[in-house]
């Protein structure tokens, strides 16, 4: 790979995040290897969504296999293409359904992380509205020949604002959503920061009572556990109507739905997920792309996973024609297969070049060195099948750090040292491997 100039911001994010075993937000294109087929399928979904369609995908893989990586890669590509993006990690406190604030917590996290190409770090709702209103002002000025301070100018702008708002009023909760959008415009028009802030709070789901919302904005409803997804659909419709390609929603760590102990609560979350799936694949919603990241256990466990629900099993079962190295990427589930040895070596080469660029030294590891490193960490029973890219990358960054900090140390010496212990795939240090029950887990 030809050396690329990297900013310190990008290289720092890559080195620090990968060394800690987490996915960086930026610079992913520098190290993207071996997921071309999966990425192509997800990019095709974006193209369909931009044309008014909708999409729903599961990206399934073991911890460290690259789920979060490919989700972040698609997130960045979507922003580059003109999408609004919202992402959140599910957790015990953030679910899809729940009567104790868990689902509205998911909505709030999504809204907090709203991002665009010009505002990739999140918190972009206000900037989206400001950009839209600014565009309307420019359009009205060009069409009418009037200036912002001229009489009647604001009335013409409000007509344009209401044209967009009226497209939402026919949808569920659309009238109230439109009313809040107009309230934001009025706050903008009159320099009423409190009214603008109230509108933003409502859009972010931060009002806890209907009386507070009515007093601040004149609307009689709030976004809550029951209605949050309706407002996701409304937001997708809204942003597509003001110049964006659509809305991409990324929900990672879906295994937390699988971990819900109460069977009824778990099923409620699967039912909400099913409603979202049906909306998108049946064409009842437009300009909305939803991607869910989860583990094989979350999907395939017949007792607690999605496969425990016949409706889900019918929709997500793997094709009978699928086989290793051959999967239908147009289906609802994209299963991440292990990277090949050649792909891993290419990944290690890119990481070595990023590390060298960050610390401003000449990269010295050759292909033979990389093969020796890979052989060392996979030279144990089952490692080829069990090791994930995340584990390999973390070990390699650590090795690069040690070599850079100790210039007289060679990779051969490092690998031959008695203290070098590669990350153990799926290893629990508390387990006694010599015990008679070592093979069993509960």
Distance, in Å, from the CA atom of 85 to the CA atom of 125, rounded to the nearest integer, reads 11
Report the run of H or E that residue 39 belongs to, with start and end.
Answer: helix 36-50
In the predicted structure, residue 118 carries a pLDDT above the cut 50: yes
pLDDT: which is higher, 271 or 384: 271
Distance, in Å, from the CA atom of 403 to the CA atom of 409, rounded to the nearest integer, reads 6
pLDDT at 384: 56
pLDDT: which is higher, 419 or 117: 117
pLDDT at 169: 86
Determine the angle formed by the axes of helices 210-217 and 174-190, rounding to 10 degrees.
Answer: 40
pLDDT: which is higher, 170 or 109: 109
For the stretch 315-351, pLDDT in tens is 988 766 666 666 677 889 999 888 888 888 999 999 9
In the predicted structure, residue 259 carries a pLDDT above the cut 90: yes
Residues across the chain? 442
For the stretch 355-398, pLDDT in tens is 999 999 988 899 999 999 888 877 754 555 556 788 888 889 99
48 exposure class (CB count in 10 Å sphere: 0-12, 13-18, 19+): middle
Nearest to 334 by CA among 88, 40, 85: 40
> Long-range contact list for 303-309, CB < 8 A, 24+ apart?
304/258, 304/266, 305/258, 306/270, 306/273, 309/267, 309/270, 309/274
In the predicted structure, residue 1 carries a pLDDT above the cut 60: no
pLDDT at 420: 57
């Amino acid at each position: 790979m030809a050396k690329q100039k990297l900013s310190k911001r990008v290289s720092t994010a890559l080195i620090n995040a990968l060394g800690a075993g987490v996915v960086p937000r930026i610079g992913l294109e520098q190290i993207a290897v071996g997921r071309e087929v999966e990425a192509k399928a997800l990019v095709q979904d974006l193209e369909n969504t931009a044309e008014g369609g909708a999409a729903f995908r599961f990206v399934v893989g073991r911890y460290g296999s690259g789920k979060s990586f490919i989700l972040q890669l698609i997130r960045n590509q979507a922003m580059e293409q003109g999408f609004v993006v919202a992402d959140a990690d599910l957790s015990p406190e953030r679910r899809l359904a729940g009567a104790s604030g868990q689902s509205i917590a998911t909505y709030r996290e999504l809204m907090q992380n709203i991002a665009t190409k010009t505002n990739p770090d999140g918190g972009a709702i206000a900037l989206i509205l400001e950009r839209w209103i600014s565009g309307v002002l420019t359009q009205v000025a060009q069409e009418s020949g009037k200036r912002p301070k001229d009489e009647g100018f604001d009335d013409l702008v409000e007509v344009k604002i209401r044209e967009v708002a009226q497209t939402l009023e026919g949808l569920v909760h659309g009238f109230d959503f439109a009313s809040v959008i107009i309230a934001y415009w009025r706050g903008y028009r009159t320099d009423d920061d409190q009214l603008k802030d109230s509108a933003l709070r409502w859009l972010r789901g931060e009002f806890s009572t209907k009386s507070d919302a009515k007093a601040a904005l004149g609307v009689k409803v709030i976004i809550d556990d029951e209605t949050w997804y309706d407002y996701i659909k409304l937001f997708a419709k809204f942003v597509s109507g003001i110049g964006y390609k659509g809305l991409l929603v990324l929900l990672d760590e879906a295994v937390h739905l699988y971990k819900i102990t109460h069977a009824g609560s778990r099923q409620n979350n699967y039912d909400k997920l099913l409603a979202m799936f049906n909306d998108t694949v049946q064409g009842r919603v437009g300009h909305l792309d939803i991607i869910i990241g989860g583990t094989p256990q979350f999907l395939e466990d017949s007792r607690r996973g999605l496969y425990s629900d016949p409706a889900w099993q019918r929709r997500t079962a793997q094709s009978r024609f699928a086989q290793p190295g051959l999967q239908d990427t147009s289906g609802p589930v994209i299963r991440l297969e292990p990277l090949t040895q050649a792909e891993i070596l290419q990944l290690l080469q890119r990481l070595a070049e990023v590390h060298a660029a960050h610390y401003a030294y000449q990269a010295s590891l050759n292909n033979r060195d990389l093969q020796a490193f890979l052989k060392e960490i996979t030279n144990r029973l089952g490692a080829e099948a069990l090791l994930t890219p995340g584990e390999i990358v973390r070990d390699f960054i650590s090795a690069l750090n040690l070599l850079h900090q100790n210039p007289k140390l060679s990779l051969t010496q490092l690998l031959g040292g008695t203290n070098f212990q590669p990350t153990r795939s799926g290893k629990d240090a508390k387990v006694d491997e010599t015990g008679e029950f070592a093979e069993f887990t509960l």
